[in-house]
Structure 1
Amino acid sequence: MRQKRFLIIFIGLLVHVLVISAAVDIKNLNIWPMPKDVSHGHGSLYLDNDFELKTDGSRYPDSSGILKDGFLRLIDLVKGTHVIEANFSHLDSSLLLKGIHIVVSSPSDELQHGIDESYKLYIPAAQGNPLYAHLEVQTVYGALHGLQTFSQVCHFNFTTRAIVVHQVPWTIVDQPRFSYRGLLIDTSRHYQPVAMIKKVIDSMSYAKLNVLHWHTVDSQSFPLEIPSYPKLWDGAYSVSERYTFADAADIVSYAQRRGINVLAEIDVPGHSLSWGIGYPALWPSTDCKEPLDVSNEFTFKVIDGVLSDFSKIFQYKFVHLGGDEVNTSCWELTPHVSQWLQNKHLNGSGAYQYFVLRAQEMALSHGYEIINWEETFINFGDKLSLKTVVQNWLVTGVAQKAVAAGLRCILSNQERWYLDNLDTTWQDFYINEPLTNITDPKQQALVLGGEVCMWGESIDASDIEQTIWPRTAAAAERLWTPYDKLPKDPAQVVGRLAHFRCLLNQRGVAAAPVVGFGRSAPLRPGSCYMQ
């Protein structure tokens, strides 16, 4: 009966939202990213000192504790670093919010691409006792998003020393626009400590991003332990700048409990010089060390071993196989590889195709679908597995061509969504539209979303956070909020973005000021909200 009443309440509230949401002045709402539908009032409530979580364990038992942990993180976030000294003994009890009641429909806590991330959040005005906020979701990961939104409408009141929810009653009906909302980090060009990777994951959850693309290795270093081929991480910068296999599993688990998938990448056959430090046979020769030796069967045994080990911990349905910036001249200039090419009746470009397609077959055999950088599509798109996702980063118009060919696509165009381009402003990030020039609904559905890329040449643990934020937040709203709710002029969101940047600072994230270019320092003394 309780659940039925809860559903009836939400049906009524949904109608209410649909009627008045268009009239809501979103410029006065400090929520990021902006929800799909939102309405609010003008009252205030106080969070009870014993603010509690209520659930229906018969539907979602929370045996893994994901929901409970998410609730405890909510409490930490809304309290911040403040000491709560509120005395409610003389306060009307109808102004106390006793807790939040969460109903999760699906009993599963499996995190995977395309799961339902929607939520419906209702925070009542002062009425009745006890008073609870209500959160209705299909999956626990929708609940985590709803809790993040709840955290943004809570504020510490310096007069009462209590946590206050302003603008009640709130009714928020929300879901993401795109299923893939990613951030790439690069741990080859500079090593990132595990603690920093976890901080990045936390900050991603605040902006409702859901994919951490871990560019684990590259030419410069191979920091990740591969049990099947233990000498690969001899290519790390040092013995202390490494990730054990258990570290990687821990990062995946940490992200999953925050609703974030981890996409692992091995970039083959190029960007691979570091592989040969431990296994020199992977190099065409000691004078010509990349791409990986296409003529050597050992090369493909190692790749298969890496993917086999990946499948034990990286449970996301996709694996990234790179495939970009492959210079085949090394193959053609190395005698034994050149001879192999002749025997196979291949030139350099043909060998490139052979390598990529063979790596794809291996990934498929381990249960993965594949993401490749766009060069593979440009060079031999009609040969790629239909389970390929094309990541567009270089050439304008590739996304349109990929979806027209029936392949899925992710947008990461370098002129707008590469964070290492420090002169690219947050406004550029905000207006970058994944569906540009894609008008056919069937083709639009093939655009999974987008990803901003934090390439590591000029960042390490000292400056990664201020290079990522707040520009990534601008892209995060583009990927979450319905297109018709996004203003064409970024100036309309600058105050709200500044508020979110300050919120990140308050949560211990070193987000740079909104004013200026990527990771600029504050220009002068002043309020966080004015920088």
Structure 2
Amino acid sequence: MAGVSSAALLAGFLLSLSFLADGLNLWPMPASVSYGSGTLYLSNDFQLRTEGSRYSDGSGILKEAFQRMVDIIKIAHVVDGSLPRYGVLKGLRVLVFSADDKLNFGTEESYKLSIPANNKDAYAEIEAQTVYGALHAFETFSQLCNVNLTTNIIELHSAPWKIVDQPRFPYRGLMIDTSRHYLPLQTIKNVIDSMTYAKLNVLHWHAVDRESFPIELPSFPKLWDGAYSYSERYTTADAHEIVQYAERRGINVLAEIDVPGHARSWGIGYPSLWPSSNCQEPLDVSNEFTFQVIDGILSDFSKIFKFKFVHLGGDEVNTSCWTRTPHISNWLKNHGMNGSDAYRYFVLRAQKIALSHGYDVINWEETFNSFGKELSPRTVVHNWLGGGVAQKVAAAGLRCIVSNQDKWYLDHLDATWDGFYMNEPLVNITKPEQQKLIIGGEVCMWGETVDASDIEQTVWPRAAAAAERLWTPLKKLAKDPMLVRTRLAHFRCLLNRRGVAAAPLFGLGRAAPPHQDSCPKQ
């Protein structure tokens, strides 16, 4: 086979220098990285080998992920150039130690990636405890590869590589909101795909809210009468499809119903859930049917959403509808309750229902702020209002997810990427036993001003800045975000090349490119 020209090899060498000019162009940064100065060329018949692995891949998760990796490396280019005689990388040898591919909270995600020096007919090697660690290794490997459009060869620079990696936090989430604007199934799948590029592992599906109830639930089929329209709905089969699509990519789906507030849409199909026709939320605390509906929803959820947690909301509850509606006011009086007591009663009863279906419960932080000592010990408090809450939650012995709105709310277009990067979940939490209670964090894409037309550029690249904070060891995170700006800009351009509409780094979230220039300079 004819070799590549010396000019092409020189071009590849210069490309390798540019690859390292601004540091390692990997995102998020792995825990441990070493590399050399050689160049490898991927075989046109790049292969997956799994001999010796305990994981049989009967479900095809590994094979599918490998093919997706090869496709995104090529990025739709024809790669059929003539390879040199030496330095050809034949494929990836993957060794997975666990035969189990069950995905849930705490699933092992570590991996080791070894790429050899300039040897003839060599293989790169991946070792991972689970198939999901191997999927993360595929993503890292893909970011090391570049298509040389002069030679039509895929090049891998700075070999040999040795990468040892694992996530800092087990929960690394992105929330989407399908109540304020409907998101088509394909849009949700595109979001899931983009999450894998940044090694996020939880899709928090805020499925319903006061504006609409778009999801079909067999136990109470009239609930989705609260959808915006007949076409802006998710069938039960759609929900199964989203969960399975995500799981095969190493992503858990966290379902949320926000109770007792944010639930006006429930009463479109079942008006008795409203306190009255003129006062439509919170859900009627005095009506046993309310809790029958919650039980039915969570029973249906347990057949679809297999994640360890369910989110029950509990935020922004205004109890005035209860206190001024005669039949509820009488119920409160008969039970010796005021509005605050009824709020606590509702949340705790909803928690017990969720626990009966095998879930641990996530609630927004108002529940902790109001009556934290009475929450189930299996509660995870979801911080959103501001700083300092995680410290108090951990001191109380409960788990916490950090999403403080001043830094990690994507709908805040004035929240810039550097603020996302510098938001530290463990601030002022120094005791190791309390640090372990902060299970991670989540960036939240509330849906008031996003739909299928603009969700990607509102999420990315700011979500990636938070993703590195949640993945990379603290000691390897930059103390000055400007030190990672070039690398994040490179990742944003990588997202664009993969078909993700990630916005420029400069300006506000969802901003247009500020001037004419190459992608990394935007």
State TM-score, norm by structure 1: 0.94
Out of 290, 308, 313, the position equivalent to 2:304 is 313
Q: How far 1:226 sits from its partner (Å)?
A: 0.6
Report sequence identity in percent. 68
State how far apart, in whole Å, the 2-side matches of 1:270 and 1:407 are.
Answer: 23
Whether the 8 Å CA contact 2:44–2:80 is kept in 1: the answer is: no
Letter in 2 for 1:188: S
Letter in 2 for 1:51: F
Q: Is there any run of 5+ residues in structure 2 with no aligned partner, and where?
A: 1-19
After TM superposition, list the pairs within 5 Å mapping 1:355-504 onto structure 2: 355-504=346-495
After TM superposition, list the pairs within 5 Å mapping 1:198-347 onto structure 2: 198-347=189-338
Q: How far 1:85 sits from its partner (Å)?
A: 2.6
Between 1:284-293 and 1:156-165, the stretch displaced more is: 156-165
Q: How far 1:396 sits from its partner (Å)?
A: 2.4
Tell me the equivalent position of 1:3.
none
State how far apart, in whole Å, the 1-side matches of 2:64 and 2:301 are.
Answer: 27
Letter in 2 for 1:376: T
Tell me the equivalent position of 2:4.
none
Whether the 8 Å CA contact 2:53–2:97 is kept in 1: the answer is: no
After TM superposition, list the pairs within 5 Å mapping 1:163-178 onto structure 2: 163-178=154-169
Q: How far 1:26 sits from its partner (Å)?
A: 9.5
1:232-267 deviation digits (Å, cap 9, x = unpaired): 000000000000000000000000000000000000
Out of 60, 63, 72, the position equivalent to 1:65 is 60
State how far apart, in whole Å, the 1-side matches of 2:413 and 2:117 are.
Answer: 45
Letter in 1 for 2:112: K
Tell me the equivalent position of 2:89.
97
State how far apart, in whole Å, the 2-side matches of 1:26 and 1:411 are.
Answer: 34
1:24-46 deviation digits (Å, cap 9, x = unpaired): x8942100000000000111111
Tell me the equivalent position of 1:118.
110
Q: Is there any run of 5+ residues in structure 1 with no aligned partner, and where?
A: 1-24
Whether the 8 Å CA contact 1:35–1:174 is kept in 2: the answer is: yes
State how far apart, in whole Å, the 2-side matches of 1:305 and 1:467 are.
Answer: 35
1:167-186 deviation digits (Å, cap 9, x = unpaired): 10010000000000000000
RMSD of aligned residue pairs (Cα, Å): 1.1
State how far apart, in whole Å, the 1-side matches of 2:21 and 2:446 are.
Answer: 34
Whether the 8 Å CA contact 2:401–2:439 is kept in 1: the answer is: yes
Q: How far 1:395 sits from its partner (Å)?
A: 3.6
Q: Is 1:85 equivalent to 2:80 in the alignment? A: yes
Q: Which structure 1 residue ranges, 4+ long, deviate > 4 Å from structure 2?
A: none
SS in 2 for 1:28: coil
Q: How far 1:58 sits from its partner (Å)?
A: 5.5
Q: Is 1:45 equivalent to 2:37 in the alignment? A: no
Given the superposition, is the C-alpha separation of residues 185 and 220 from structure 1 closer, same or farther in structure 2, using an over 3 Å criterion? same
Whether the 8 Å CA contact 1:262–1:316 is kept in 2: the answer is: yes
Whether the 8 Å CA contact 1:27–1:492 is kept in 2: the answer is: no
State TM-score, norm by structure 2: 0.96
Q: How far 1:57 sits from its partner (Å)?
A: 6.0
State how far apart, in whole Å, the 1-side matches of 2:22 and 2:40 are.
Answer: 22
State how far apart, in whole Å, the 1-side matches of 2:406 and 2:51 are.
Answer: 47
State how far apart, in whole Å, the 2-side matches of 1:290 and 1:214 are.
Answer: 21
Q: How far 1:397 sits from its partner (Å)?
A: 1.3
State how far apart, in whole Å, the 2-side matches of 1:48 and 1:396 are.
Answer: 50
Given the superposition, is the C-alpha separation of residues 336 and 26 from structure 1 closer, same or farther in structure 2, using an over 3 Å criterion? farther
State how far apart, in whole Å, the 2-side matches of 1:356 and 1:192 are.
Answer: 29
State how far apart, in whole Å, the 2-side matches of 1:293 and 1:267 are.
Answer: 14
Tell me the equivalent position of 1:13.
none
Whether the 8 Å CA contact 2:87–2:121 is kept in 1: the answer is: no
Between 1:56-65 and 1:390-399, the stretch displaced more is: 56-65
SS in 1 for 2:36: coil
Q: How far 1:323 sits from its partner (Å)?
A: 0.2
Whether the 8 Å CA contact 1:215–1:264 is kept in 2: the answer is: yes
State how far apart, in whole Å, the 1-side matches of 2:288 and 2:176 are.
Answer: 31
Out of 180, 183, 190, the position equivalent to 1:192 is 183
